Structure 1
Amino acid sequence: MTRHLSVREVLQVIVRSARRLLDARYAALGVPDDEGAFAEFVAEGISEEEWDAIGPMPRQHGMLGAMLREGAPVRLPDIRKDHRFEYWPRAHPVLKDFLGVPIRDGDQVLGIIFLSNKRSPGGFTEADQSLLTMFAAHAAIALTNARLYERGRELALVEERTRMARELHDAVTQKLFSLRLTAQAASSLVPRDPDRALLELQRVERLAGEALAELRAVIVELRPAELDRHGLAETLRKHVRLLDRLHPASFTFEETPVCELEPATEVAVLRVAQEALHNASRHSGARAVGVRLGCEGGRVVLEVRDDGAGFDVVAATGRGLGIASMEDRAHALGGSVHVRSDPGRGTLVRMEVPT
Structure 2
Amino acid sequence: MPHHAPAQASALGPDFEFDQVLAQLVERADHMQRSHHRLRDLIRVNNDLTSNLDLETVLRKIVEIGVELVHAEYGAMGVIADDNTLEQLITVGMDDATIALVGEMPQGKGLLGALIDDPSPVRLAEISDDARSSGFPADHPPMRSFLGVPIRVREQVYGNLYLTDSRNGEFTADDEELAQSLAATAGIAIANARLFEDSLYRENWASALAETARLLIQDDDEEHLGFLMGRVKDLADAALVAIARVSSSGEDLIIDRAVGAGAEEMGAMSFPVDGSASGEAVRTRQPVLIPDTCAQDFGFAQRSELGPAMTIPVAMGSGVGGVLIVARLHGSPVFGVRDLDMGTSFASHVSVSIERAESRMVRQRVALLEERSRIARDLHDHVIQRLYATGLSLQAVAMKLPAEAAEDVTGQIREIDASIAQIRQSIFALNRDSQVTTVNLRARVLEIVDRVETQEATGLRPRVTFLGPVDLMADATLTDDVAAVVTEALANVQRHADAQKVDLVISAAAGQVTVEVTDDGTGPGASPRLSGLANLRARAEGHGGSFELLPASGGGTQMIWSVPA
Q: TM-score, normalised by structure 2?
A: 0.32
Residue 370 of structure 2 corresponds to which residue in structure 1? 189
Partner AA of 1:48 in structure 2? D
What is the CA–CA distance in structure 2 between the aligned matches of 1:99 and 1:76, rounded to whole Å?
Answer: 6
What is the CA–CA distance in structure 2 between the aligned matches of 1:104 and 1:97, rounded to whole Å?
Answer: 24
In structure 2, do the counterparts of structure 1 residues 9 and 196 end up closer, same or farther at CA, with 3 Å as the change threshold? farther
1:85 aligned to which of 125, 133, 146: 133
Deviation at 1:129, TM superposition (A): 1.0
Report the 3-state secondary structure (helix = DSSP H, G, I; strand = E; otherwise coil) of the residue aligned with 1:59.
coil
Q: Is the 8 A contact 1:37 1:58 kept in 2?
A: no
Residue 56 of structure 1 corresponds to which residue in structure 2? 104
Q: Deviations over 1:208-257 (max 9, x none)?
A: xxxxxxxxxxxxxxxxxxxxxxxxxxxxxxxxxxxxxxxxxxxxxxxxxx
In structure 2, do the counterparts of structure 1 residues 164 and 196 end up closer, same or farther at CA, with 3 Å as the change threshold? farther
1:156 aligned to which of 203, 215, 220: 203
Residue 20 of structure 1 corresponds to which residue in structure 2? 68
In structure 2, do the counterparts of structure 1 residues 175 and 74 end up closer, same or farther at CA, with 3 Å as the change threshold? closer
1:180 pairs with 2:227: no
Residue 47 of structure 1 corresponds to which residue in structure 2? 95
1:137 aligned to which of 159, 163, 184: 184
Report the 3-state secondary structure (helix = DSSP H, G, I; strand = E; otherwise coil) of the residue aligned with 2:50.
coil
What is the CA–CA distance in structure 1 between the aligned matches of 2:100 and 2:152, rounded to whole Å?
Answer: 30
Report the 3-state secondary structure (helix = DSSP H, G, I; strand = E; otherwise coil) of the residue aligned with 1:193.
helix
Unaligned runs of 5+ in 1: 198-355
Partner AA of 1:144 in structure 2? A
Q: Is the 8 A contact 1:10 1:143 kept in 2?
A: yes
Range with bigger deviation, 148-157 or 66-75: 148-157
Q: Is the 8 A contact 1:189 1:196 kept in 2?
A: no
Map 1:1-355 → 2, pairs under 5 A: 1-120=49-168, 122-168=169-215, 172=220, 173=353, 177-193=358-374
Q: Deviations over 1:41-73 (max 9, x none)?
A: 111011111111111221121111111222111
Q: Deviations over 1:238-281 (max 9, x none)?
A: xxxxxxxxxxxxxxxxxxxxxxxxxxxxxxxxxxxxxxxxxxxx
Report the 3-state secondary structure (helix = DSSP H, G, I; strand = E; otherwise coil) of the residue aligned with 2:162.
strand
Q: Is the 8 A contact 2:151 2:157 kept in 1?
A: yes
Deviation at 1:165, TM superposition (A): 4.7
Deviation at 1:36, TM superposition (A): 3.9
**CA-based RMSD:** 2.6
What is the CA–CA distance in structure 2 between the aligned matches of 1:162 and 1:111, rounded to whole Å?
Answer: 34
What is the CA–CA distance in structure 2 between the aligned matches of 1:69 and 1:36, rounded to whole Å?
Answer: 8
Deviation at 1:37, TM superposition (A): 2.5
Report the 3-state secondary structure (helix = DSSP H, G, I; strand = E; otherwise coil) of the residue aligned with 2:143.
coil
Q: Is the 8 A contact 2:145 2:170 kept in 1?
A: yes
Deviation at 1:177, TM superposition (A): 4.6
What is the CA–CA distance in structure 1 between the aligned matches of 2:216 and 2:366, rounded to whole Å?
Answer: 23
Q: Deviations over 1:140-195 (max 9, x none)?
A: 11111111111222233333444445555566346655443332223233344159
Deviation at 1:87, TM superposition (A): 2.2
Partner AA of 1:34 in structure 2? D
Residue 419 of structure 2 corresponds to which residue in structure 1? none
Deviation at 1:80, TM superposition (A): 0.9
Q: Is the 8 A contact 1:104 1:110 kept in 2?
A: yes
Report the 3-state secondary structure (helix = DSSP H, G, I; strand = E; otherwise coil) of the residue aligned with 1:129.
helix
Report the 3-state secondary structure (helix = DSSP H, G, I; strand = E; otherwise coil) of the residue aligned with 2:61.
helix
What is the CA–CA distance in structure 2 between the aligned matches of 1:177 and 1:196, rounded to whole Å?
Answer: 28
Partner AA of 2:77 in structure 1? L
Higher Rg: 2
Q: Is the 8 A contact 2:77 2:162 kept in 1?
A: yes
Unaligned runs of 5+ in 2: 1-48, 221-352, 379-565
What is the CA–CA distance in structure 1 between the aligned matches of 2:127 and 2:61, rounded to whole Å?
Answer: 25
Partner AA of 1:58 in structure 2? P
Deviation at 1:115, TM superposition (A): 0.9
Report the 3-state secondary structure (helix = DSSP H, G, I; strand = E; otherwise coil) of the residue aligned with 1:190.
helix
What is the CA–CA distance in structure 2 between the aligned matches of 1:2 and 1:132, rounded to whole Å?
Answer: 17
Tell me the matched-pair count. 196
What is the CA–CA distance in structure 2 between the aligned matches of 1:159 and 1:98, rounded to whole Å?
Answer: 46
Q: Deviations over 1:75-102 (max 9, x none)?
A: 1110111011112211221110111111
What is the CA–CA distance in structure 1 between the aligned matches of 2:154 and 2:366, rounded to whole Å?
Answer: 67
What is the CA–CA distance in structure 2 between the aligned matches of 1:107 and 1:36, rounded to whole Å?
Answer: 16
Report the 3-state secondary structure (helix = DSSP H, G, I; strand = E; otherwise coil) of the residue aligned with 2:157.
strand
In structure 2, do the counterparts of structure 1 residues 175 and 32 end up closer, same or farther at CA, with 3 Å as the change threshold? closer
What is the CA–CA distance in structure 1 between the aligned matches of 2:357 and 2:146, rounded to whole Å?
Answer: 67
Partner AA of 1:136 in structure 2? A
